[in-house]
Every structure is written in structure tokens, then in C-alpha cells.
Amino acid sequence: MSTSKTVRKVEVLSPVPADIDIANSVEPFHISEIAKDLNLSPKYYDLYGKYKAKVLLSVLDELEGSGDGYYVVVGGITPTPLGEGKSTTTVGLCQALGAFLDKKVVTCLRQPSQGPTFGIKGGAAGGGYSQVIPMDEFNLHLTGDIHAITAANNLLAAAIDTRIFHESTQSDKALLNRLCPPNKEGKRNFNDIMFRRLKKLGISKTKPEELTPQEVKKFARLDIDPTSITWRRVMDVNDRFLRKIAIGQGPEEKGMVRETGFDISVASEIMAVLALTTSLADMRERLGKMVIGNSKAGDPVTADDLGVGGALTVLMKDAINPTLMQTLEGTPVLVHAGPFANIAHGNSSIVADKIAMKLAGPGGFVVTEAGFGSDIGTEKFMNIKCRYSSLTPQCAVIVATIRALKMHGGGPEVTAGKPLDRAYTTENVSLVEAGCVNLARHISNTKAYGVNVVVAINMFATDSEAELNAVRNAALAAGAYDAVVCTHHAHGGKGAVDLGIAVQKACENVTQPLKFLYPLDISIKEKIEAIARSYGASGVEYSEQRLDHLFMSNQAEKQIEMYSRQGFSGLPICMAKTQYSFSHNAAEKGAPTGFSLPIRDVRASIGAGFIYPLVGTMSTMPGLPTRPCFYDIDLDTATGKVIGLS
């Protein structure tokens, strides 16, 4: 075992206590000890209390030219609504590598939204004896990144409606005069952000008075089409009654009422920008390029057109730095970004991974998690995140459970909050074997990227040896490099040592370069169809939508045509699809084939850098169940510790 003073020996109990009780049972190391173990100098991080710190991007300049560690992504099979333990496996694997196999390792995880934490899902710090601590700080507030995103998103929303309001009541000349007010000497000037718009319009003049009346109109009047606005307000609370609202109903707004709504904060494009940016300068450009809608002439209108790109960057200047935390056993964790895994790419940030790769160094390991099943999370990790980061993974872990495989083999429905059917708690090898078709497709899809695939069989107490062997045999037959039974939830890193050994061997023996599923220079439709085929679809149907009783509109094809005309066809594709099936139908389990994938709409996150087709209906504002998790959450006022958080 490593002799590092940041390795903590945790005494495990059986049965496994509640997650928050385990988290509260240990005193975390001071975060400076975790940083010291990474050879991270204090000048490269800012303390946020005793147990977390912001790692500054300047460390990348210091470490430029040094070698990288091995890069591992953890995905999963198609999950049940209960989840199959990807975050727990990610943490357990890192605890095994760092605390038991004496490897330098950094875990890279998404920051959870507090909406689901108080709602139905609970926290996302891992679980059992494989979790990130302090658990309550990880799940609630952390270092304020999501709050910064909320503020920036809503500043842009306010700017949009305010601009429409002022343009509706002023002449072109009045708009110009107010946009460029006289300075102390009585002269009018363009500021820096205005030159971005002038350049976009092809106007090379440098003084407001030099503009012709036509140029004044082009510059000062964005002429936003209210029906084209895609930017919505956000908050980090599950509030279903804000999904659709009417704004502008006050008398001062002069009748400028329109329908809009709220999304959960992690669904904001600004979160996706944070996750995919590579530097502060890159983030500034991406935030400025975000498209909020179109002009009435059909031209895209951006945050920089509204003059707000610089202000958004100021609000996000601290959020770009990843947060350093620790696991129960004292291994380091970088927590950063948490883009919605359905409509966005569902992966933690590029900058955290880049920093981690340098800190781990040659022979070390960086383990990051991809959201949902590998058909969504790992596919987007490879085709979107790796394109922008230029980082190459050597190994992909696929987390599987007997429970989920039985469901895919035809087992009864699994519903959150309801007891499991007896089929899931008694031995049924044939049901497991039937469900392994799902695992096999995830393996073949992931292997196609050129990485070695290791299957982590997340063991539950009711799983039999025969069932576990059936999964291992099916995984190897499908082309997995290895398949390992894990008990990290109950035993911490010790329960994932075999997984750690398998991952190390898989990384050391990779023989192929990274391969993408599609090139960027083909059409939007061709890219969509390539991804659909990986799901098992025979084709894609761009389904029509009824707009009224008289005619139908093929919204998806119209959007594809518009984005192609606007010059956005070279972006990667980020499919917005249910996580509960390879297909669009959540009830279709196993590995369905021959279906036609319906695309009902196509939207774009231009600043983040992807086009996202909508497969079915995706809710971007979750609701609260009858009995939310907040019933259990309270504060022990004697100790100041959070209780009931799961």
C-alpha cells in the first residue's frame, strides 16, 4: 500500500451505512495535503475553506511540456432508473489505483445539480465506501460555479428582452446615440465589443459619426425575431411550474408579452461552454458566439451582438477553475462542470482533464466519468469532448449490473421508489444471459473508437456466482479486454483492486489510435445517421409536427437547412435521447434493431460547439415527486453537520 500521508484507512461496516453517515464518519484531510501529494504548489490554487480549493489554469503553463498520464473514461450499459453505480465505480477505481496500487491518480467528476439532489435522484458523490467528501459540500453550492452560470445565463436573458423593448420604441439614430454616448470631451466612440459586431457586418469604420444611415441601421438594430428566441432563463431548483411562462406583463413593458420558460441551470449552454472550453480566451470567444435566436432576416444573433459577451466572461472568470476535493480514502478529485447529459454532452470539463493529465504524469491515471449509458455519454465523450481537447483515452470502462441485465433480458419493470421484483433478487442465469445483448452492443460500439474495454460488474449482495460468471463470459465473448467483479460500494478501494489491475493492463496494451464515429466535414444529416446506426437504427425519420389544423411543418429539416446556410454544418452532433434505451422508446430494452429513429427538431449550441437533434421529448426542467429527497435532509444543530443527504 502507498505510504502517502493522504491515504486514509477506512474501517468498513456491514451492512453498509447511509452515504452521509459514512461521509460524516471521517475527518477529511486539509486540502493542502491533497495538493501537496500532487506536487501542486500553493501558488496554483486558492483555498475555499479547509476541504476544497480552486486549481488555477496557470498550472498548465507551468507543466507545459511534461508528460501525460493514462486517460480512462467510465461509461455504462443502458441503466435502470435506479442507476448502476458509474460514479461509485469511478471513485472506487481511483481509490484502488491510488490507495492500494500505489499509482498517482486523479478522479475527474461532474458537479451535481442541487435540483435533483433535493428532488428524486439524490446526490452524485458516489456511494457507500467509494465517494467524494465532504459529501454535503460536493452536492450543495460547492464553490459557486452553478450559481455563476445561473447569473450569467439570466443576464443574457435580460439583455435579449431589454434590447427588443428599446428597439421597438427608438429610431435608428436614437439607438446609436444611446449605444455610443458622448464621453467627457463630447465625442462618441465604439467600445471593444462593438468592434466585434462591426467586423461581423463588414464595416471597417472606427467612429460612430462615420456610419451611413444604412450602416447605422445594420449596427444598432438587431431586429430580433421574438419567435426565434431559444434562450431561456434558468434556476437550480426543480420547479415544473416554470417550464412555460409569460413575461412582460407589467404595465411598464408596454404590452411586449411573450412566452418563454425556465430550464434547470445545468441545461444552460453556458454550462456546456464551461465543460468544453480549453482556456480563458477560448471561453470568452465561445460565450460571445452563443446564438440566442435570429433576426427577422434570418441571421443568427449572438451574445456579442447584444454587447454582453465580456460581462458573461467576468461572471464566469472563477468558475473556469476546477475544484480540488478528495475521496474517502484520500485520493485527489477534480470536480468541474456538469452539463445536462441528455441535451448536452454529459461530461466533466476539458480543463480539469488537461490539468489532471499533467498532475498524474507518465504512469499515472486520470479517470473521468461519462453520463448515462455509453451510447450517450461515451459517444459524446469521444466525438465531442475528445475532438475539442485533443486528448486520447486508452481505456473505457463499462459498468454493468446483474439487475440491469435482467431487465434487458425481459425482466419486470424497474421503478424508482418501488421495491424490486423477486426476479431481481433470486438467481436467474438465463435472464442475465438474455440481457447481455445490451452489454455486447455497448462493448462493440466502444471498441470501435480504438480503446480497450474493461467491464466492471458492480456486484450486489443478491447476485449469484453463476450470474456473475455469465456476465464475464458474455463480456469477453463480445470483445472486452477484461471483465471484473467489483465490491467497492461495500469495501472501498479494496473492492476494486482487480478492476484497477485490469485497467492498468488495458492502458499499457492499447494498440490503436483514437477513431471517431464520423468526420466533421460531412453533412448534418449524415452525422445524425451515423450515430443512429450505432444505436441499431435502420434509418432516420425527420418527423413532421402539426402547427395547426391546416398544415404540417417539418421543423427538423427546416432547422438543418438553416444551420447549414448559416455555416454551422461542420459542428459535431450531440443527440438528445432517452438514456433508458438504445432507441427513442424507453420501453425498448436489450439491443433493438431495425427501428427508424425519429428526429422531431434540431437545435444548436453554437458557443459550446455542437448541433443537438431532439429524439422524442426531453424535459430540461425536472419536476419534484410526491415525496422529494428534501423530506430527509436536515441539519444537526448541535454539530452543524448535514443529515439525511443521500
Listed by start position, the domains of the chain span 19-143+318-509, 146-314, 524-614
Residue 639 is predicted with a pLDDT of: 86
Burial class of residue 243, CB neighbours in 10 A (0-12, 13-18, 19+): middle
Angle between helices 213-220 and 172-179 (to 10 degrees): 60
At what angle are helices 269-276 and 280-289 packed, to 10 degrees? 150
The SS3 call for residue 63 is helix
Cα 230-232-234 angle, rounded to 5 deg: 150
End-to-end Cα, the chain, rounded Å = 30
Query: Which residues, 6+ apart, have CB-to-CB distance to 76 below 8 Å?
Result: 84, 86, 372, 373, 374, 377, 398, 399, 400, 442
Chain-centre distance for alpha carbon 453: 22
Q: Collapsing DSSP states into helix, strand and coil, what is residue 590? A: coil
pLDDT, residue 371, reads 85
**pLDDT given for residue 32 in this prediction:** 97
The torsion defined by the Cα of 433, 539, 607 and 357, in degrees rounded to 10, comes to: 30
What is the pLDDT, as a whole number, of residue 251? Answer: 87
Tell how strand 641-643 and strand 634-636 pair up: antiparallel
Assign 3-class secondary structure to 69-102. Answer: CEEEEEEECCCCCCCCCHHHHHHHHHHHHHHHCC
Query: Does the structural domain 146-314 have CATH classification 3.60.15.10?
Result: no
pLDDT recorded at residue 119: 76
The span from the CA of 594 to the CA of 216, in Å, is: 56
What pLDDT shows up at residue 230? 94
Alpha-carbon torsion 451, 486, 437, 381, what sign? Answer: negative
pLDDT in the model for residue 633 = 83
Consecutive sets of 10 residues in the chain, 646 residues long: mean pLDDT of each?
63 89 92 96 97 97 94 96 92 97 97 81 78 91 95 98 95 96 92 96 95 97 96 93 92 88 94 97 98 96 97 98 97 94 89 98 97 93 97 98 97 88 95 98 98 97 96 98 97 97 97 95 97 96 65 80 96 95 95 95 95 86 81 84 80
Which residue type, as a one-letter code, is found at position 373? G
Q: How many CA atoms lie within 13 A of 241 on its CB side?
A: 0
Shared fold status for 19-143+318-509 and 524-614: no
Q: What is the CATH number of domain 524-614?
A: 3.10.410.10
Q: How far is the C-alpha of 123 from the C-alpha of 140, rounded, in Å?
A: 9
CATH 3.90.470.10 fits 19-143+318-509, yes or no: no
Residue 576: its H or E element: none
Cell output for 572:
459535431
